[in-house]
Protein backbone atom coordinates (compact mmCIF):
# COMPACT_ATOMS: atom_id res chain seq x y z
CA UNK A 1 0.00 0.00 0.00
CA UNK A 2 2.78 2.37 1.02
CA UNK A 3 4.81 1.51 -2.11
CA UNK A 4 1.90 2.38 -4.36
CA UNK A 5 1.46 5.71 -2.57
CA UNK A 6 5.13 6.57 -2.99
CA UNK A 7 5.11 5.71 -6.65
CA UNK A 8 1.95 7.77 -7.12
CA UNK A 9 3.65 10.79 -5.57
CA UNK A 10 6.63 10.25 -7.82
CA UNK A 11 4.41 10.11 -10.90
CA UNK A 12 2.56 13.20 -9.75
CA UNK A 13 5.77 15.24 -9.56
CA UNK A 14 7.02 13.89 -12.88
CA UNK A 15 3.85 15.17 -14.49
CA UNK A 16 3.90 18.44 -12.58
CA UNK A 17 7.45 19.37 -13.58
CA UNK A 18 6.84 18.17 -17.14
CA UNK A 19 3.69 20.25 -17.35
CA UNK A 20 5.49 23.34 -16.12
CA UNK A 21 8.08 23.03 -18.86
CA UNK A 22 5.43 22.36 -21.51
CA UNK A 23 3.64 25.49 -20.38
CA UNK A 24 6.66 27.61 -21.28
CA UNK A 25 6.77 26.29 -24.82
CA UNK A 26 3.02 26.75 -25.00
CA UNK A 27 3.20 30.40 -23.94
CA UNK A 28 6.02 31.23 -26.35
CA UNK A 29 4.18 29.45 -29.14
CA UNK A 30 1.00 31.43 -28.45
CA UNK A 31 2.80 34.75 -28.35
CA UNK A 32 4.87 34.12 -31.46
CA UNK A 33 2.07 32.39 -33.32
CA UNK A 34 -0.38 35.18 -32.62
CA UNK A 35 2.10 37.87 -33.66
CA UNK A 36 3.26 36.10 -36.79
CA UNK A 37 -0.29 35.12 -37.83
CA UNK A 38 -1.61 38.65 -37.42
CA UNK A 39 1.52 40.57 -38.26
CA UNK A 40 2.90 38.83 -41.32
CA UNK A 41 0.14 39.88 -43.77
CA UNK A 42 0.89 43.54 -43.02
CA UNK A 43 4.61 43.28 -43.78
CA UNK A 44 5.50 44.60 -47.19
CA UNK A 45 8.31 46.54 -48.79
CA UNK A 46 6.11 49.62 -48.59
CA UNK A 47 5.49 49.03 -44.88
CA UNK A 48 9.21 48.75 -44.16
CA UNK A 49 10.28 51.76 -46.22
CA UNK A 50 7.53 54.36 -45.76
CA UNK A 51 6.61 56.78 -43.01
CA UNK A 52 3.30 56.53 -41.13
CA UNK A 53 0.36 58.28 -42.82
CA UNK A 54 -3.03 59.66 -41.85
CA UNK A 55 -2.52 59.74 -38.12
CA UNK A 56 -0.87 56.31 -37.74
CA UNK A 57 -3.68 54.48 -39.51
CA UNK A 58 -1.73 53.87 -42.70
CA UNK A 59 1.71 53.89 -44.28
CA UNK A 60 4.80 52.23 -42.82
CA UNK A 61 7.27 52.39 -39.96
CA UNK A 62 10.53 53.26 -41.69
CA UNK A 63 11.40 56.25 -39.46
CA UNK A 64 11.00 54.06 -36.40
CA UNK A 65 13.20 51.29 -37.82
CA UNK A 66 15.84 53.77 -38.96
CA UNK A 67 15.96 55.62 -35.66
CA UNK A 68 15.91 52.45 -33.56
CA UNK A 69 18.96 51.20 -35.44
CA UNK A 70 20.65 54.62 -35.22
CA UNK A 71 19.90 54.84 -31.50
CA UNK A 72 21.29 51.39 -30.85
CA UNK A 73 24.46 52.11 -32.86
CA UNK A 74 25.04 55.33 -30.93
CA UNK A 75 24.47 53.51 -27.66
CA UNK A 76 26.90 50.75 -28.65
CA UNK A 77 29.59 53.27 -29.56
CA UNK A 78 29.36 54.60 -26.01
CA UNK A 79 28.73 51.51 -23.94
CA UNK A 80 31.20 49.11 -25.55
CA UNK A 81 34.39 51.12 -24.98
CA UNK A 82 33.24 52.30 -21.55
CA UNK A 83 32.18 48.84 -20.40
CA UNK A 84 35.09 46.94 -21.92
CA UNK A 85 37.69 49.34 -20.51
CA UNK A 86 36.05 49.20 -17.09
CA UNK A 87 36.13 45.41 -17.14
CA UNK A 88 39.74 45.34 -18.35
CA UNK A 89 40.71 47.67 -15.55
CA UNK A 90 38.85 45.64 -12.93
CA UNK A 91 40.19 42.30 -14.07
CA UNK A 92 43.64 42.98 -15.52
CA UNK A 93 44.95 46.11 -13.83
CA UNK A 94 43.39 46.66 -10.42
CA UNK A 95 44.89 44.61 -7.61
CA UNK A 96 42.32 41.99 -6.72
CA UNK A 97 40.62 42.36 -3.38
CA UNK A 98 41.20 46.10 -3.19
CA UNK A 99 38.53 48.32 -1.64
CA UNK A 100 38.23 50.37 -4.83
CA UNK A 101 37.43 47.34 -6.99
CA UNK A 102 34.88 46.25 -4.41
CA UNK A 103 33.09 49.60 -4.63
CA UNK A 104 33.14 49.66 -8.43
CA UNK A 105 31.67 46.16 -8.58
CA UNK A 106 29.04 47.10 -6.02
CA UNK A 107 28.13 50.16 -8.07
CA UNK A 108 27.80 48.09 -11.24
CA UNK A 109 25.56 45.52 -9.57
CA UNK A 110 23.39 48.25 -8.15
CA UNK A 111 23.18 49.89 -11.55
CA UNK A 112 21.86 46.60 -12.91
CA UNK A 113 19.07 46.66 -10.36
CA UNK A 114 17.80 50.17 -11.10
CA UNK A 115 14.37 50.14 -12.83
CA UNK A 116 14.55 51.39 -16.38
CA UNK A 117 12.06 54.22 -15.82
CA UNK A 118 14.43 55.64 -13.23
CA UNK A 119 17.15 55.70 -15.88
CA UNK A 120 14.74 57.69 -18.02
CA UNK A 121 14.22 60.24 -15.28
CA UNK A 122 17.94 60.36 -14.58
CA UNK A 123 18.61 61.00 -18.26
CA UNK A 124 16.13 63.84 -18.28
CA UNK A 125 17.56 65.39 -15.14
CA UNK A 126 21.26 64.83 -15.74
CA UNK A 127 21.85 64.75 -19.49
CA UNK A 128 19.16 67.16 -20.69
CA UNK A 129 18.59 69.56 -17.80
CA UNK A 130 22.17 69.65 -16.59
CA UNK A 131 24.64 68.80 -19.36
CA UNK A 132 22.49 69.85 -22.32
CA UNK A 133 21.41 73.11 -20.68
CA UNK A 134 24.98 73.99 -19.81
CA UNK A 135 26.23 73.23 -23.31
CA UNK A 136 23.54 75.57 -24.64
CA UNK A 137 24.41 78.28 -22.14
CA UNK A 138 28.11 78.11 -22.87
CA UNK A 139 28.31 77.41 -26.61
CA UNK A 140 24.96 78.46 -28.08
CA UNK A 141 24.15 81.69 -26.23
CA UNK A 142 21.18 80.29 -24.31
CA UNK A 143 19.30 79.08 -27.38
CA UNK A 144 17.75 75.64 -27.23
CA UNK A 145 20.06 73.21 -29.04
CA UNK A 146 21.09 70.38 -26.73
CA UNK A 147 18.98 71.21 -23.69
CA UNK A 148 16.04 69.22 -24.99
CA UNK A 149 15.17 65.57 -25.60
CA UNK A 150 17.43 64.24 -28.36
CA UNK A 151 18.78 61.00 -29.77
CA UNK A 152 22.20 61.54 -28.20
CA UNK A 153 20.71 61.83 -24.70
CA UNK A 154 18.51 58.80 -25.25
CA UNK A 155 21.54 56.83 -26.47
CA UNK A 156 23.58 57.87 -23.43
CA UNK A 157 20.76 56.90 -21.09
CA UNK A 158 20.47 53.49 -22.76
CA UNK A 159 24.25 53.12 -22.54
CA UNK A 160 24.03 53.54 -18.76
CA UNK A 161 21.25 50.98 -18.63
CA UNK A 162 23.24 48.38 -20.57
CA UNK A 163 26.61 49.14 -18.99
CA UNK A 164 26.35 46.42 -16.31
CA UNK A 165 25.66 43.78 -18.97
CA UNK A 166 28.77 44.73 -20.91
CA UNK A 167 31.01 44.97 -17.85
CA UNK A 168 29.88 41.67 -16.38
CA UNK A 169 30.07 39.67 -19.64
CA UNK A 170 33.46 41.20 -20.50
CA UNK A 171 34.81 40.31 -17.07
CA UNK A 172 33.55 36.76 -17.51
CA UNK A 173 35.24 36.57 -20.91
CA UNK A 174 38.51 37.81 -19.40
CA UNK A 175 38.24 35.36 -16.53
CA UNK A 176 37.87 32.52 -19.03
CA UNK A 177 41.37 33.18 -20.41
CA UNK A 178 43.73 30.97 -18.39
CA UNK A 179 46.46 32.73 -16.41
CA UNK A 180 49.07 30.53 -18.10
CA UNK A 181 48.60 32.64 -21.24
CA UNK A 182 49.25 35.81 -19.26
CA UNK A 183 52.42 34.31 -17.79
CA UNK A 184 53.56 33.13 -21.22
CA UNK A 185 53.12 36.63 -22.59
CA UNK A 186 54.94 38.23 -19.66
CA UNK A 187 57.74 35.69 -20.00
CA UNK A 188 58.17 36.83 -23.60
CA UNK A 189 58.79 40.35 -22.37
CA UNK A 190 55.32 41.72 -23.02
CA UNK A 191 54.23 44.76 -21.05
CA UNK A 192 50.89 44.58 -19.30
CA UNK A 193 49.10 46.39 -22.10
CA UNK A 194 50.77 44.22 -24.78
CA UNK A 195 49.71 41.16 -22.83
CA UNK A 196 46.12 42.40 -22.66
CA UNK A 197 46.05 43.59 -26.26
CA UNK A 198 47.73 40.65 -27.99
CA UNK A 199 46.99 37.66 -25.79
CA UNK A 200 43.95 38.23 -23.60
CA UNK A 201 41.67 40.34 -25.81
CA UNK A 202 41.92 38.13 -28.92
CA UNK A 203 40.76 35.19 -26.83
CA UNK A 204 38.08 37.12 -25.01
CA UNK A 205 36.73 38.96 -28.03
CA UNK A 206 33.98 36.39 -28.63
CA UNK A 207 32.64 36.78 -25.12
CA UNK A 208 32.96 40.54 -25.28
CA UNK A 209 31.03 40.77 -28.54
CA UNK A 210 28.38 38.46 -27.16
CA UNK A 211 27.98 40.82 -24.23
CA UNK A 212 27.82 43.77 -26.58
CA UNK A 213 25.10 42.17 -28.64
CA UNK A 214 23.12 41.17 -25.57
CA UNK A 215 23.31 44.82 -24.54
CA UNK A 216 22.16 45.86 -28.01
CA UNK A 217 19.20 43.51 -28.03
CA UNK A 218 18.25 44.73 -24.57
CA UNK A 219 18.68 48.36 -25.57
CA UNK A 220 16.68 47.94 -28.77
CA UNK A 221 13.59 46.90 -26.85
CA UNK A 222 13.68 49.32 -23.92
CA UNK A 223 11.10 52.11 -24.07
CA UNK A 224 10.99 53.55 -20.56
CA UNK A 225 14.47 55.16 -20.56
CA UNK A 226 13.87 57.00 -23.83
CA UNK A 227 10.37 58.26 -23.08
CA UNK A 228 11.69 61.38 -21.36
CA UNK A 229 14.94 61.68 -23.21
CA UNK A 230 14.24 61.86 -26.92
CA UNK A 231 11.53 59.74 -28.44
CA UNK A 232 8.72 61.41 -30.36
CA UNK A 233 5.17 60.44 -31.24
CA UNK A 234 5.53 61.36 -34.88
CA UNK A 235 8.20 63.25 -36.81
CA UNK A 236 8.20 64.28 -40.46
CA UNK A 237 11.99 63.91 -40.67
CA UNK A 238 14.63 61.31 -39.85
CA UNK A 239 17.12 61.99 -37.03
CA UNK A 240 20.25 63.05 -38.91
CA UNK A 241 21.79 65.14 -36.15
CA UNK A 242 22.67 64.26 -32.59
CA UNK A 243 20.16 66.73 -31.15
CA UNK A 244 17.19 65.53 -33.20
CA UNK A 245 14.29 63.74 -31.67
CA UNK A 246 13.34 60.43 -33.20
CA UNK A 247 10.69 57.74 -33.58
CA UNK A 248 11.29 54.30 -32.08
CA UNK A 249 9.83 50.86 -32.71
CA UNK A 250 9.08 50.12 -29.09
CA UNK A 251 7.55 53.50 -28.43
CA UNK A 252 5.66 53.29 -31.73
CA UNK A 253 4.04 50.10 -30.47
CA UNK A 254 3.02 51.90 -27.31
CA UNK A 255 1.65 54.79 -29.35
CA UNK A 256 -0.28 52.55 -31.71
CA UNK A 257 -1.76 50.61 -28.83
CA UNK A 258 -2.83 53.55 -26.70
CA UNK A 259 -3.03 56.76 -28.71
CA UNK A 260 -4.66 55.68 -31.95
CA UNK A 261 -7.74 57.52 -33.19
CA UNK A 262 -9.11 54.31 -34.71
CA UNK A 263 -8.13 51.12 -32.91
CA UNK A 264 -9.49 48.66 -35.44
CA UNK A 265 -7.57 50.21 -38.33
CA UNK A 266 -4.26 50.41 -36.46
CA UNK A 267 -4.46 46.86 -35.10
CA UNK A 268 -2.83 45.13 -38.11
CA UNK A 269 -0.16 47.83 -38.21
CA UNK A 270 0.47 47.27 -34.51
CA UNK A 271 0.91 43.53 -35.04
CA UNK A 272 3.31 44.06 -37.94
CA UNK A 273 5.37 46.57 -35.93
CA UNK A 274 5.66 44.12 -33.04
CA UNK A 275 6.78 41.45 -35.50
CA UNK A 276 9.48 43.72 -36.93
CA UNK A 277 10.81 44.54 -33.45
CA UNK A 278 10.82 40.86 -32.49
CA UNK A 279 12.64 39.83 -35.66
CA UNK A 280 15.20 42.59 -35.11
CA UNK A 281 15.90 41.40 -31.55
CA UNK A 282 15.97 37.71 -32.47
CA UNK A 283 18.39 38.48 -35.30
CA UNK A 284 20.72 40.26 -32.88
CA UNK A 285 20.63 37.33 -30.46
CA UNK A 286 21.29 34.96 -33.31
CA UNK A 287 24.34 36.95 -34.39
CA UNK A 288 25.61 36.80 -30.79
CA UNK A 289 25.36 33.02 -30.75
CA UNK A 290 27.02 32.80 -34.16
CA UNK A 291 30.00 34.90 -33.09
CA UNK A 292 30.42 32.89 -29.92
CA UNK A 293 30.52 29.56 -31.76
CA UNK A 294 32.91 30.94 -34.38
CA UNK A 295 35.35 32.18 -31.75
CA UNK A 296 35.21 28.93 -29.83
CA UNK A 297 36.06 27.02 -32.99
CA UNK A 298 38.97 29.32 -33.71
CA UNK A 299 40.38 28.89 -30.20
CA UNK A 300 40.16 25.12 -30.54
CA UNK A 301 42.18 25.35 -33.73
CA UNK A 302 39.37 24.48 -36.13
CA UNK A 303 39.36 27.17 -38.73
CA UNK B 1 85.15 32.78 -16.07
CA UNK B 2 82.71 35.35 -14.72
CA UNK B 3 79.36 33.93 -13.66
CA UNK B 4 76.45 35.25 -15.73
CA UNK B 5 73.97 34.75 -12.92
CA UNK B 6 74.73 35.12 -9.24
CA UNK B 7 72.19 34.51 -6.50
CA UNK B 8 73.10 35.83 -3.07
CA UNK B 9 71.38 34.93 0.20
CA UNK B 10 67.99 34.34 -1.37
CA UNK B 11 64.97 33.79 0.84
CA UNK B 12 61.58 33.47 -0.82
CA UNK B 13 58.28 33.59 1.02
CA UNK B 14 54.74 32.93 -0.02
CA UNK B 15 52.14 33.94 2.55
CA UNK B 16 55.15 34.28 4.87
CA UNK B 17 55.93 30.58 4.48
CA UNK B 18 59.55 30.00 3.50
CA UNK B 19 59.93 28.45 0.05
CA UNK B 20 63.63 29.12 -0.59
CA UNK B 21 66.08 29.24 2.29
CA UNK B 22 69.38 31.11 2.15
CA UNK B 23 70.28 30.15 -1.40
CA UNK B 24 73.62 31.00 -2.97
CA UNK B 25 74.30 29.94 -6.53
CA UNK B 26 76.51 31.10 -9.37
CA UNK B 27 75.93 30.05 -12.94
CA UNK B 28 78.56 30.20 -15.66
CA UNK B 29 77.71 31.19 -19.22
CA UNK B 30 77.19 28.55 -21.92
CA UNK B 31 76.54 25.79 -19.48
CA UNK B 32 73.54 23.61 -18.88
CA UNK B 33 72.63 23.72 -15.24
CA UNK B 34 69.95 21.26 -14.25
CA UNK B 35 68.07 21.71 -11.03
CA UNK B 36 66.76 18.47 -9.57
CA UNK B 37 64.86 17.70 -6.41
CA UNK B 38 61.54 16.38 -5.17
CA UNK B 39 58.26 18.31 -5.39
CA UNK B 40 58.04 21.53 -3.33
CA UNK B 41 61.79 21.88 -3.12
CA UNK B 42 61.75 25.41 -4.59
CA UNK B 43 63.12 24.57 -8.05
CA UNK B 44 60.43 26.31 -10.04
CA UNK B 45 60.20 29.15 -7.54
CA UNK B 46 63.90 29.82 -8.01
CA UNK B 47 63.57 29.71 -11.80
CA UNK B 48 60.70 32.18 -11.69
CA UNK B 49 62.75 34.52 -9.51
CA UNK B 50 65.27 34.83 -12.32
CA UNK B 51 62.83 36.45 -14.75
CA UNK B 52 60.81 38.06 -11.96
CA UNK B 53 57.67 36.18 -12.93
CA UNK B 54 56.95 35.72 -9.23
CA UNK B 55 56.33 39.47 -9.10
CA UNK B 56 52.88 38.67 -10.47
CA UNK B 57 51.96 36.48 -7.53
CA UNK B 58 50.29 38.25 -4.61
CA UNK B 59 51.76 37.53 -1.17
CA UNK B 60 55.09 36.53 -2.69
CA UNK B 61 58.16 38.15 -1.15
CA UNK B 62 61.84 37.81 -1.91
CA UNK B 63 64.90 38.71 0.15
CA UNK B 64 68.46 38.76 -1.14
CA UNK B 65 69.97 39.65 -4.46
CA UNK B 66 70.20 38.17 -7.92
CA UNK B 67 72.82 39.53 -10.28
CA UNK B 68 72.51 39.07 -14.01
CA UNK B 69 75.55 40.22 -16.02
CA UNK B 70 76.67 42.20 -13.00
CA UNK B 71 73.36 43.99 -12.49
CA UNK B 72 71.03 43.39 -9.55
CA UNK B 73 67.75 42.51 -11.26
CA UNK B 74 65.72 43.41 -8.18
CA UNK B 75 67.20 46.89 -7.98
CA UNK B 76 64.94 49.88 -8.44
CA UNK B 77 64.43 51.08 -11.99
CA UNK B 78 65.04 47.74 -13.67
CA UNK B 79 62.99 47.35 -16.87
CA UNK B 80 61.33 44.03 -16.11
CA UNK B 81 60.09 43.36 -19.63
CA UNK B 82 63.61 43.99 -20.93
CA UNK B 83 64.95 41.56 -18.34
CA UNK B 84 62.47 38.94 -19.47
CA UNK B 85 63.67 39.32 -23.04
CA UNK B 86 67.12 38.28 -21.86
CA UNK B 87 65.71 35.37 -19.84
CA UNK B 88 63.52 33.30 -22.14
CA UNK B 89 61.26 30.92 -20.26
CA UNK B 90 59.56 27.70 -21.38
CA UNK B 91 56.85 26.25 -19.14
CA UNK B 92 55.97 22.68 -18.24
CA UNK B 93 52.83 22.73 -20.37
CA UNK B 94 53.12 23.91 -23.95
CA UNK B 95 51.22 27.19 -24.21
CA UNK B 96 50.86 28.00 -27.90
CA UNK B 97 48.97 31.24 -28.42
CA UNK B 98 45.82 30.84 -30.50
CA UNK B 99 47.56 32.16 -33.59
CA UNK B 100 49.30 30.57 -36.56
CA UNK B 101 52.61 28.75 -36.27
CA UNK B 102 54.42 31.67 -37.86
CA UNK B 103 52.71 34.27 -35.68
CA UNK B 104 53.59 32.32 -32.56
CA UNK B 105 57.30 32.44 -33.28
CA UNK B 106 57.11 36.00 -34.61
CA UNK B 107 55.12 37.10 -31.57
CA UNK B 108 57.91 38.35 -29.32
CA UNK B 109 60.00 40.05 -32.04
CA UNK B 110 56.86 41.83 -33.22
CA UNK B 111 56.09 42.98 -29.69
CA UNK B 112 59.56 44.45 -29.62
CA UNK B 113 59.06 46.34 -32.84
CA UNK B 114 60.80 44.19 -35.42
CA UNK B 115 58.90 45.39 -38.49
CA UNK B 116 61.08 44.20 -41.35
CA UNK B 117 59.21 41.29 -43.02
CA UNK B 118 62.31 39.61 -44.41
CA UNK B 119 64.27 39.76 -41.17
CA UNK B 120 61.25 38.43 -39.32
CA UNK B 121 60.87 35.49 -41.69
CA UNK B 122 64.57 34.69 -41.33
CA UNK B 123 64.34 34.83 -37.55
CA UNK B 124 61.32 32.53 -37.53
CA UNK B 125 63.07 30.04 -39.81
CA UNK B 126 66.26 30.10 -37.76
CA UNK B 127 64.35 29.60 -34.50
CA UNK B 128 62.27 26.72 -35.86
CA UNK B 129 65.37 25.05 -37.30
CA UNK B 130 67.14 25.30 -33.96
CA UNK B 131 64.45 23.18 -32.31
CA UNK B 132 64.28 20.71 -35.24
CA UNK B 133 60.73 21.72 -36.07
CA UNK B 134 61.26 23.55 -39.35
CA UNK B 135 61.03 20.50 -41.62
CA UNK B 136 57.79 19.40 -39.98
CA UNK B 137 55.99 22.73 -40.26
CA UNK B 138 57.60 24.69 -43.09
CA UNK B 139 54.75 23.89 -45.49
CA UNK B 140 52.02 24.95 -43.05
CA UNK B 141 53.30 28.03 -41.26
CA UNK B 142 49.94 29.84 -41.60
CA UNK B 143 48.05 26.98 -39.89
CA UNK B 144 46.87 27.30 -36.33
CA UNK B 145 49.54 26.33 -33.80
CA UNK B 146 46.85 24.51 -31.83
CA UNK B 147 46.75 21.83 -34.51
CA UNK B 148 50.28 20.66 -33.69
CA UNK B 149 50.91 17.64 -31.46
CA UNK B 150 51.97 18.17 -27.85
CA UNK B 151 55.65 17.55 -28.62
CA UNK B 152 55.56 19.89 -31.59
CA UNK B 153 53.79 22.54 -29.53
CA UNK B 154 56.48 22.40 -26.86
CA UNK B 155 59.23 22.75 -29.47
CA UNK B 156 57.25 25.64 -30.95
CA UNK B 157 57.24 27.29 -27.52
CA UNK B 158 61.01 26.82 -27.32
CA UNK B 159 61.39 28.33 -30.79
CA UNK B 160 59.17 31.22 -29.73
CA UNK B 161 61.56 31.91 -26.87
CA UNK B 162 64.64 31.61 -29.12
CA UNK B 163 63.12 34.26 -31.40
CA UNK B 164 63.46 36.63 -28.45
CA UNK B 165 67.20 36.19 -28.87
CA UNK B 166 67.70 35.85 -25.11
CA UNK B 167 70.95 35.16 -23.27
CA UNK B 168 69.58 32.66 -20.80
CA UNK B 169 67.00 29.91 -21.29
CA UNK B 170 64.88 29.05 -18.28
CA UNK B 171 63.25 25.68 -18.86
CA UNK B 172 60.70 24.52 -16.31
CA UNK B 173 60.26 20.78 -16.81
CA UNK B 174 59.84 21.31 -20.54
CA UNK B 175 59.51 17.61 -21.31
CA UNK B 176 57.28 16.65 -18.38
CA UNK B 177 54.29 15.84 -20.54
CA UNK B 178 56.05 14.59 -23.65
CA UNK B 179 56.71 11.21 -25.22
CA UNK B 180 60.32 9.87 -25.34
CA UNK B 181 60.85 10.81 -28.99
CA UNK B 182 59.77 14.42 -28.51
CA UNK B 183 61.87 14.53 -25.36
CA UNK B 184 64.91 13.32 -27.29
CA UNK B 185 64.36 16.00 -29.93
CA UNK B 186 64.27 18.73 -27.30
CA UNK B 187 67.38 17.35 -25.58
CA UNK B 188 69.19 17.27 -28.93
CA UNK B 189 68.27 20.89 -29.45
CA UNK B 190 69.60 21.78 -26.00
CA UNK B 191 73.09 20.40 -26.81
CA UNK B 192 73.39 22.76 -29.74
CA UNK B 193 71.75 25.71 -28.00
CA UNK B 194 74.33 25.52 -25.25
CA UNK B 195 76.84 27.11 -27.61
CA UNK B 196 74.86 30.31 -27.70
CA UNK B 197 72.89 30.32 -24.48
CA UNK B 198 73.17 29.63 -20.80
CA UNK B 199 70.53 27.04 -19.99
CA UNK B 200 68.89 26.40 -16.65
CA UNK B 201 66.76 23.27 -16.75
CA UNK B 202 64.43 22.23 -13.97
CA UNK B 203 63.59 18.59 -14.26
CA UNK B 204 62.07 15.73 -12.30
CA UNK B 205 63.74 13.28 -14.59
CA UNK B 206 67.12 12.28 -13.14
CA UNK B 207 68.11 10.44 -16.31
CA UNK B 208 67.48 13.57 -18.29
CA UNK B 209 69.71 15.51 -15.93
CA UNK B 210 72.41 12.89 -16.41
CA UNK B 211 72.08 13.12 -20.20
CA UNK B 212 72.26 16.88 -20.68
CA UNK B 213 73.72 18.55 -17.60
CA UNK B 214 77.11 20.19 -17.19
CA UNK B 215 76.30 21.17 -13.63
CA UNK B 216 73.67 19.84 -11.29
CA UNK B 217 72.04 21.56 -8.34
CA UNK B 218 70.09 19.44 -5.90
CA UNK B 219 67.31 21.27 -4.07
CA UNK B 220 65.52 19.91 -1.04
CA UNK B 221 62.84 21.71 1.00
CA UNK B 222 63.91 25.07 -0.38
CA UNK B 223 67.58 24.55 0.32
CA UNK B 224 70.49 23.96 -2.03
CA UNK B 225 71.89 20.69 -0.76
CA UNK B 226 74.60 20.09 -3.30
CA UNK B 227 75.92 21.89 -6.34
CA UNK B 228 78.64 20.38 -8.49
CA UNK B 229 79.54 19.16 -11.94
CA UNK B 230 77.25 16.49 -13.30
CA UNK B 231 80.08 13.97 -13.24
CA UNK B 232 80.73 14.47 -9.55
CA UNK B 233 77.08 14.48 -8.56
CA UNK B 234 76.22 11.32 -10.41
CA UNK B 235 79.37 9.36 -9.62
CA UNK B 236 80.36 10.58 -6.18
CA UNK B 237 77.77 12.73 -4.44
CA UNK B 238 79.16 14.28 -1.28
CA UNK B 239 75.87 14.65 0.55
CA UNK B 240 73.99 11.62 1.78
CA UNK B 241 70.63 13.17 0.87
CA UNK B 242 71.74 13.62 -2.73
CA UNK B 243 72.78 10.02 -2.93
CA UNK B 244 69.49 8.86 -1.48
CA UNK B 245 67.51 10.97 -3.92
CA UNK B 246 69.53 9.84 -6.93
CA UNK B 247 69.13 6.20 -6.00
CA UNK B 248 65.38 6.73 -5.73
CA UNK B 249 65.06 6.23 -2.00
CA UNK B 250 62.77 9.27 -1.65
CA UNK B 251 61.20 12.02 -3.73
The pLDDT tens digits of the residues spanning A63-94 come to 999 999 899 989 999 999 999 999 999 999 98
Q: How far apart are CA B73 and CA A104, in angstroms?
A: 35
Cβ contact B146–A181 (<8 Å): no
Residues of A in contact with B99 (CB under 8 A): 202
Give me the pLDDT at residue A301, please.
59
Cβ contact A188–B160 (<8 Å): yes
CB-neighbour burial class of residue A99 (10 A; exposed 0-12, middle 13-18, buried 19+)? exposed
Confidence of residue A128 (pLDDT cuts 50, 70, 90): very high
A103-127: average pLDDT: 93
| Residue A22 confidence (pLDDT) above 50 | yes
| Residue A130 confidence (pLDDT) above 50 | yes
Domain boundaries, chain B: 5-246
**% pLDDT > 90, chain A:** 55
- For residue A277, give the nearest of A39, A24, A79 by alpha carbon: A39
What is the 3-state secondary structure of chain B?
CCCCEEEEEEEEEECCEEEEEEEEEEECCCCEEEEECCCCCCHHHHHHHHCCHHHHCCCEEEEEEEEECCEECCCCCCCHHHHHHHEEEECCCCCCCCCEHHHHHHHHHHHCCCCCHHHHHHHHHHHHHHCCCHHHHHHHCCCEHHHCCHHHHHHHHHHHHHCCCCCEEEEECCCCCCCHHHHHHHHHHHHHHCCCCEEEEECCCHHHHHHHCCEEEEEECCEEEEEEEHHHHHHCCCCHHHHHHHCCCCC
Cβ contact A203–B98 (<8 Å): yes
Cβ contact B112–A300 (<8 Å): no
> Testing the interface with B: which of A183, A187, A207 to mutate, by most B Cβ within 10 A?
A187
| Residue A272 confidence (pLDDT) above 60 | yes
Confidence of residue B251 (pLDDT cuts 50, 70, 90): low
Distance from CA of B34 to the nearest CA of A (A): 20
Q: How far apart are CA A133 and CA A127, in angstroms?
A: 8
Residues of B in contact with A181 (CB under 8 A): 95, 97
* Spatial contact of A240 and A253, defined as CB atoms under 8 Å apart: no
Q: Among residues 25-84 of chain A, which lie with CB inside 8 Å of chain B?
A: none
Is any Cβ of chain B less than 8 angstroms from the Cβ of A205? Answer: no
Give me the pLDDT at residue A3, please.
85
Give me the pLDDT at residue B218, please.
94
Give me the pLDDT at residue B72, please.
93
Give me the pLDDT at residue A97, please.
77
Give me the pLDDT at residue B88, please.
93
Looking at the partner chain, which of A189, A299, A301 has a beta carbon nearest the beta carbon of B111?
Answer: A189
A240-259: average pLDDT: 89
Is any Cβ of chain B less than 8 angstroms from the Cβ of A293? Answer: no
Residues of B in contact with A187 (CB under 8 A): 51, 53, 84, 88-89, 91, 161
Is any Cβ of chain A less than 8 angstroms from the Cβ of B98? Answer: yes
Give me the pLDDT at residue A256, please.
87
DSSP for residue A40: G
Residues of A in contact with B98 (CB under 8 A): 202-203, 298-299, 301
Give me the pLDDT at residue B33, please.
95
**% pLDDT > 70, chain A:** 98
B96-115: average pLDDT: 90
Q: Does domain B5-246 sit in CATH 3.40.50.300?
A: yes
Cβ contact B91–A184 (<8 Å): yes
> In order of start, what are the domains of chain A with their CATH numbers?
43-299 (1.10.3720.10)
Cβ contact A191–B81 (<8 Å): yes
Residues of A in contact with B51 (CB under 8 A): 187
- Going from the C-alpha of B91 to that of each of A62, B6, B31, B185, B240, the distances in angstroms are 58, 22, 20, 17, 31
The whole-model pTM stands at 0.83
**% pLDDT > 90, chain B:** 72
pLDDT digits (tens, 9 = 90+) for A183-201: 999 999 999 999 999 999 9
| Residue A270 confidence (pLDDT) above 80 | yes
Size of interface A-B (CB pairs under 8 A): 67
**pLDDT averaged over every residue in chain B:** 91
**pLDDT averaged over every residue in chain A:** 89
Residues of A in contact with B84 (CB under 8 A): 186-189
* Spatial contact of B182 and B207, defined as CB atoms under 8 Å apart: no
pLDDT digits (tens, 9 = 90+) for A131-172: 989 998 999 888 888 888 999 999 999 999 999 999 999 999
Cβ contact B56–A183 (<8 Å): yes
Looking at the partner chain, which of A96, A194, A202 has a beta carbon nearest the beta carbon of B98?
Answer: A202
Give me the pLDDT at residue A300, please.
65
B151-174: average pLDDT: 93
Confidence of residue A303 (pLDDT cuts 50, 70, 90): very low
Cβ contact B91–A191 (<8 Å): no
Amino acid sequence: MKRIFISLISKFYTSLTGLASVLIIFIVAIILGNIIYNGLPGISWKFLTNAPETGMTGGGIFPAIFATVALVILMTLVVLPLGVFTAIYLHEYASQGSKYVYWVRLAIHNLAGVPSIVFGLFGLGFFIQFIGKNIDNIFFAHTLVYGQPAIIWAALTLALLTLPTVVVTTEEALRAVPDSFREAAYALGATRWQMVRHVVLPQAIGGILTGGILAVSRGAGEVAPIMFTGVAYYLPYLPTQLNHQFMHLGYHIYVLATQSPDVEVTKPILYSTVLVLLVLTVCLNFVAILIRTKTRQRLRGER
Amino acid sequence: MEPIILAKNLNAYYHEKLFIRNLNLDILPNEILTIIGPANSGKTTFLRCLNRLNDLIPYFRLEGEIFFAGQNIYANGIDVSLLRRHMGMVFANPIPLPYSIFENVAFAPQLHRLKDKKQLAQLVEKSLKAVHLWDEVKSRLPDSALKLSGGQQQRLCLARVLALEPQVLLLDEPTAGLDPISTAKIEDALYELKKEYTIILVTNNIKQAARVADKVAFFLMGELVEYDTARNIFTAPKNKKTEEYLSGRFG
